[in-house]
A = this chain, B = another copy of it.
Amino acid sequence: MNRKPIIAVIGDGSLQKNSEKEIFAEQLGTALVTAGYRIICGGLGGVMEAAGRGAHASPVYSDGDVIGVLPGCTPDAANPYIDIPIATGLDHARNFIVANSDAVIAVGGGSGTLSELSYAWIMRRLILAYRVPHPAGSPEIFADWSAIVADKKLDDKDRCPQIEGDRVYGVDTAEDAVNILAEKLPLYISRPACAGKR
Contacts and interface: CB of A to CB of B under 8 A. Distances in A.
Contacts of A95: 96
Given A90-B91, A140-B152, A141-B156, A67 B96 contact: no
Given A153-B141, A192-B74, A198-B74, A100 B87 contact: yes
Nearest to A140: B152
Query: SS class of chain A's interface: helix, strand, loop or mixed?
Result: loop
A21 to B, nearest CB: 13
Interface stretch (A24-32, A51-59, A76-84, A171-179): A76-84
A118 B112 contact: yes
A112 B62 CA distance: 33
Contact of A191 (B73, B97, B140): B73
Interface in A19-50: 38, 40, 44
Interface residues of A, number: 76
Given A38-B84, A74-B192, A90-B97, 19 more contacts: A3-B82, A3-B83, A6-B84, A71-B194, A71-B198, A72-B193, A72-B194, A72-B197, A86-B97, A90-B90, A90-B96, A92-B119, A110-B157, A111-B119, A136-B156, A140-B151, A140-B167, A142-B153, A142-B156
The 5 closest A-B pairs by CB, nearest first: A64-B64, A71-B196, A72-B198, A110-B155, A115-B118
